[in-house]
Chain A
Amino acid sequence: MQGLAGVAACGTVPAFGASAATRPPYAPRFFNAPQWDFLIAACARLIPADIHGPGALALDVPRFIDMQMQTPYGHGAGWYLAGPFMQGADNLGYQLPYTPRDLYQRGITGMNAHATTRHGRPFAALAPAVQDDLLRAAEQGSLVFDEVPSAVFFEQLLANVMEGAFSDPIHGGNTGLGGWTMLGFPGARADFMDWVDRYGAHYPLGSVSISGERA
């Protein structure tokens, strides 16, 4: 009855009962060890754990990104990647021949090389304040990593970090629906008929995911 199982029609649903507590640690399939270390360190700075809610690590954002690299998206599906390639004004958009996988390979290698040159250690081994400085430098585009402007890499990373923190847990991030709970987003219940005209009322029901996980 797969065809009728609405929860299965648009993706693979993890079997019920798999909880964070019983999961083995995630082994990345795309990122190698130094890249993975970078990703973990960078995610922890982009969405740190604090009084507002969980950080990117508790939300398994690195796992989300690694899983995305296995999807067609990671391989550049839906991007026009035909040549010739020439750079133009920034407002005319992305003009590189690289897929998300390429951007991560070049970007992380570049960030680590830069960190080592500048501070004698790879990114993950630096103090948080130094890491923030490097991320800001990348964001402002003052670095270039093997033909990839650092801002392009940073935007790729930041976009995927946001996706990992706030997409349905079916994609590997937003563990325990922590991202949604932090924002106050109810999730995949997708029905507000009782609430649309209750002005100012606090919506009391917790978040729920596509697979039925609740928070």
Chain B
Amino acid sequence: MRLKAWGRLLGAMLLALAAAGRAHAADDLVTRGEYVAHAADCGACHTRAGGEPFAGGLAFHLPMGTLYAPNITPDTQTGIGRYSEAEFIRALRQGIRRDGATLYPAMPYPSYARMTDDDLHALYAYFMHGVKPVSHPVVQTGLTWPFSMRWPLVLWRRLFAPDPGEVQHQMRERQFPDALVARGSYLVEGPGHCGACHTPRAITMQEKALTALDGTVYLSGGAPVDGWRPVSLRGDNRTGLGRWNEQDIVRFLATGRMPLGAAFGGMTDAIGHGTQHLTPTDQLAIARFLKTLSPQTPAADGWKYDPAATLALRAGDVSARGAALYVDSCAACHRTDGRGYPTTFPPLAGNPVVMDPTPDSLIRIVLAGHVLRATRQTPSAFVMPGFAARMDDAAVADTVTFIRAAWGNNAPAVTAEDVGRIRRTLAAEHPPLSLPLN
């Protein structure tokens, strides 16, 4: 009995070894494809929190209704199991579904048009052989007419989506100061599709710029997504990455936290599913490329720390608008000097998010709180509690106004109406984020 069991085990091991030899090359391709999936951040949209990988269902709350990310596992009925490689590549680069219908441009195919044949080949191999098929139908029911119709999408695609052939040609012709910047440009403009959130869109919803070549509007900050305002990634001193150095950006992409700020909103998923998994070299490439982006609005006065608010608070003077609220609710973690305790609790002094012309993110964090998620390198998560129950709209407006004007920050005041607008978006349809266990 015992001998027999050993024999079976040995046989199984030999078989496995043989299979491993054959599969080695294919595994490499699948592994590379998985890496491309991280670089393309597929999981951020197609994997629901707590759901099976890539089984879809994540909701996008858009002005025209709610859109659900489809199942992209290789399930033949509800996923993409029947896609040929050519069909897969057409969907990614041109936004055309297997049945010929046009995808909603929430799928960033104008960026994916830039992805190399090699990367898409590997990505296809990964989705066909490295992802578990999951039967999970995702039905689009949330869009209002006329956006529920697919035919205007065709028109949109023809008008705004770049031609993949032209794009590939343009990429070959483009000159870069060094190979790292070139790689960074590819990752940011191509698979990383950073512009999908961080570049403003026209009234017709296309990104106003798809690459750095298209001018300073590229990555200059996008419209709020789910109440979160994607900030400028350009070199603007106060509202962009002007004061972040390459290593700051690398740290941010790897861990979501660095001395000048912490990740929140949609960037949480972009880091969780995407950038934390990139190699340090690729993270550095992204950083170096982003640092080539000039400020959109070169400012005469860069941010400089002003201790006036700190000195007042430390003296017990809370007479400034919002100062008492700040001391009562915020200073425990972010300190009276606004410098916080980075990288545990991020600074508010000099933080581009705080000074952004659009205060939505700041208001939303104060109301609803947020979680700085654990990453592979940083197993600790940190929770910012929400203050929606503790503060009414006027109190939030006062607090946020204080934060935006203290310590050398110079962003305009916020009204209770601004807060009310954001508070109304925090409806039940946004499920509570799961809380970390540390």
Q: Flag whether A142 is at the interface (Cβ < 8 A).
A: no
Q: Flag whether B426 is at the interface (Cβ < 8 A).
A: yes
| Overall SS of chain B's interface | loop
Q: Flag whether A137 is at the interface (Cβ < 8 A).
A: no
Asked whether, in the complex, the Cβ of B383 is within 8 Å of the Cβ of A4, the reply is: yes
Q: Flag whether A214 is at the interface (Cβ < 8 A).
A: yes
Which listed residue, B316, B371, B391, B392, touches A4 by the CB 8 Å rule? Answer: B371
- Shortest CB–CB separation between residue B99 and chain A, in angstroms? 39
Chain B residues with CB under 8 A of A2: 432
| Overall SS of chain A's interface | loop
Chain A residues with CB under 8 A of B371: 4
- Shortest CB–CB separation between residue B415 and chain A, in angstroms? 18
What is the bound-complex CA distance between A75 and B332, given in angstroms? 36
Asked whether, in the complex, the Cβ of B430 is within 8 Å of the Cβ of A1, the reply is: yes
Q: Flag whether B314 is at the interface (Cβ < 8 A).
A: yes
Which listed residue, B324, B332, B388, touches A191 by the CB 8 Å rule? Answer: B332
Asked whether, in the complex, the Cβ of A3 is within 8 Å of the Cβ of B327, the reply is: no
Name the CB-closest residue of B to A210.
Answer: B390
Within 8 A of B (CB), among A150-182: none
Asked whether, in the complex, the Cβ of B390 is within 8 Å of the Cβ of A16, the reply is: yes
Chain B residues with CB under 8 A of A203: 316
Chain B residues with CB under 8 A of A3: 432-435
Asked whether, in the complex, the Cβ of B391 is within 8 Å of the Cβ of A214, the reply is: no
Chain B residues with CB under 8 A of A93: none
What is the bound-complex CA distance between A208 and B391, given in angstroms? 13
* Chain B interface size range: 35 or more
Q: Flag whether A17 is at the interface (Cβ < 8 A).
A: yes
What is the bound-complex CA distance between A4 and B328, given in angstroms? 18
- Shortest CB–CB separation between residue B164 and chain A, in angstroms? 41
Q: Flag whether A92 is at the interface (Cβ < 8 A).
A: no
Q: Given that A194-B314, A205-B316 are contacting pairs, would A214 and B390 also be in contact in the complex, using a CB cutoff of 8 Å?
A: no
The interface on chain A, measured as residues whose beta carbon lies within 8 A of the other chain's beta carbons, has a size of 26
Within 8 A of A (CB), among B342-389: 367-371, 383-389
- Shortest CB–CB separation between residue A14 and chain B, in angstroms? 9
What is the bound-complex CA distance between A16 and B392, given in angstroms? 7
Q: Flag whether B336 is at the interface (Cβ < 8 A).
A: yes
Chain A residues with CB under 8 A of B368: 1, 4-5
Q: Flag whether B116 is at the interface (Cβ < 8 A).
A: no
Q: Flag whether B331 is at the interface (Cβ < 8 A).
A: yes
Within 8 A of B (CB), among A112-139: none
Asked whether, in the complex, the Cβ of A205 is within 8 Å of the Cβ of B386, the reply is: no
Within 8 A of B (CB), among A166-215: 189-191, 193-194, 203-205, 208, 210-212, 214
Q: Given that A7-B389, A193-B335 are contacting pairs, would A212 and B432 also be in contact in the complex, using a CB cutoff of 8 Å?
A: no
Chain A residues with CB under 8 A of B367: 1
Asked whether, in the complex, the Cβ of A204 is within 8 Å of the Cβ of B316, the reply is: yes
What is the bound-complex CA distance between A208 and B395, given in angstroms? 14
Name the CB-closest residue of B to A4.
Answer: B369
Which listed residue, A1, A7, A189, A194, touches B390 by the CB 8 Å rule? Answer: A7
Name the CB-closest residue of A to B329.
Answer: A212
Chain A residues with CB under 8 A of B167: none
Chain A residues with CB under 8 A of B313: 194
- Shortest CB–CB separation between residue A181 and chain B, in angstroms? 15
Q: Flag whether B318 is at the interface (Cβ < 8 A).
A: yes
Chain A residues with CB under 8 A of B383: 4, 6
Which listed residue, A1, A8, A214, touches B328 by the CB 8 Å rule? Answer: A214
Chain B residues with CB under 8 A of A194: 313-314, 336
Which listed residue, A1, A189, A190, A204, touches B426 by the CB 8 Å rule? Answer: A1
Q: Flag whether A13 is at the interface (Cβ < 8 A).
A: yes
Name the CB-closest residue of B to A193.
Answer: B335
What is the bound-complex CA distance between A190 and B328, given in angstroms? 9
Q: Flag whether A51 is at the interface (Cβ < 8 A).
A: no
Which listed residue, B331, B384, B385, B391, touches A212 by the CB 8 Å rule? Answer: B391
For the complex with contacts A191-B332, A205-B316, 10 further pairs of A-B residues with Cβ separation under 8 Å are A3-B433, A4-B385, A5-B385, A5-B386, A6-B387, A7-B389, A194-B336, A204-B315, A212-B328, A212-B390
Question: Mind listing 20 A-B residue pairs with CB under 8 Å?
Answer: A1-B386, A3-B432, A3-B435, A4-B383, A4-B432, A4-B435, A5-B368, A7-B387, A8-B389, A9-B385, A16-B392, A189-B331, A191-B332, A193-B336, A204-B316, A208-B328, A211-B389, A211-B390, A212-B387, A212-B391
